[in-house]
Amino acid sequence: MSKGHVVIVGAGQGGFQAAMSLRQEGHEGPITLIGGEPGLPYQRPPLSKAFLKTGEAEKLALRPQSFFDAKNITLQVSTWVDAIDRTAGQVRIGSKVMAYDHLILATGTRNLRPPIPGIERALDLRTLEDARTLRAALSRPCRIAVIGGGFIGLEFAAVAAGLGHSVAVAEAAPRLMARAVSPEMSERFRLLHETLGTELHLGNGVTEVNERGLLLKDGTEIAADLVLLAAGVCPNVKLAHDCGLEVKNGIVVDETLRTSDRQIYALGDCAAFPCARSGRLIRLESVQAATDHARAIAKSIVKGESAHYSALPWFWSDQHDLKLQIAGLADPQDESLELPDGTILRFCSDALTAVETVNNAKAHMHARRSLNSGSSPSKTQYLEEYLGMAVR
């Protein structure tokens, strides 16, 4: 039975799931979960949606304190790990050290801060404290500018517009959510946001943030009382880099989510792992990936299982009354085929790579089952499957 001390650095969704899964798998040794923020571990997806409307922070907690007490999980909040000593098997926290038998790095990401004059004026939306600041600003009429047309920026824009605020979104790419979805899906959400009254500036990057708002590349000025920065993130890898672990757009791990040090794992947004389908190194900014990673790592530590991680990536985004769901992982250049019901199939060399749906849970779940079957179906195979499902 697993009895060693497991230290988890990062108390977000993935770190919390790792601690919980270790107990579920039967780990009997001590578990220490270390988080930099105050308070209990909490859900982050609602920060850009429901929380902005309700302000109900208590509903965000993943578990009450009694859960950690009952499971004998030591939760250290408002705590930052300063260094890892791999030789001694210790982490350093200020002047103190803590020994570990296994170390899990769940350090997440932080907002990219592009070298734009005045960018320090822009607010973030990464933490509960960030969301509280934004919610307070939304309590009175204001003009809002969002830098970035990805999931977080658009979710916030939809909420703000729905509350009656004047909203503008500036995106350097020529379309919305360009890294994540097909051109057809980008267009559908462009129409949604314009219908909500949001002013979209696409293919027109921000060159300055000032007291009046934003200045764009073509000279356009956007008046704003509040500017939100949502232009991408970068993984928190300093701890790993400083102790000599391999870093490449994330903390590099193998197929079992181990780093080059066999006692150290990494999971979630900070981990760069080999994709089971393409073999290339990928990093996923996804709650589901973080929880799947955590469960796999717990099995490895407790039961010695070393199966290759191969869970299917899937994502979602709630914007106004549209729920976007994506099963699989497509490259931006993958071919797209839109079906009559609005479902969009993505293909690479005739192999299905992803399925995009809106308000269609049945099609989304069918896609996940199909893509999880072991081999990617061809265009003909999937269309036959899909048409069969539609008539059932």
- All structural domains of the chain: 6-110+233-303 (3.50.50.60), 114-229 (3.50.50.60), 321-391 (3.30.390.30)
* The predicted structure's pLDDT at residue 279: 82
To the question of pTM greater than 0.85 for the whole model, the response is yes
* The predicted structure's pLDDT at residue 374: 63
Which residues, at least 6 apart from 71, have a Cβ–Cβ distance to it below 8 Å? 19, 20, 23, 31
- The tokens for 389 are 């499902």
Separation CA 322–CA 192 (nearest Å): 9
Beta strand 264-266 pairing with 221-223:
unpaired
DSSP annotation of 124: P
DSSP annotation of 247: B
User: Which positions of the chain have pLDDT values less than 50?
Assistant: 391-392
* The predicted structure's pLDDT at residue 20: 98
* The predicted structure's pLDDT at residue 387: 64
Task: Report the interhelical angle of 287-303 vs 13-25 (nearest 10°).
Answer: 30
* The predicted structure's pLDDT at residue 306: 77
Contact 344, 356 (CB under 8 A): yes
* The predicted structure's pLDDT at residue 305: 76
Residue-wise pLDDT for 257-306, tens only, equals 999 999 999 999 999 999 887 788 999 999 999 999 999 999 999 998 77
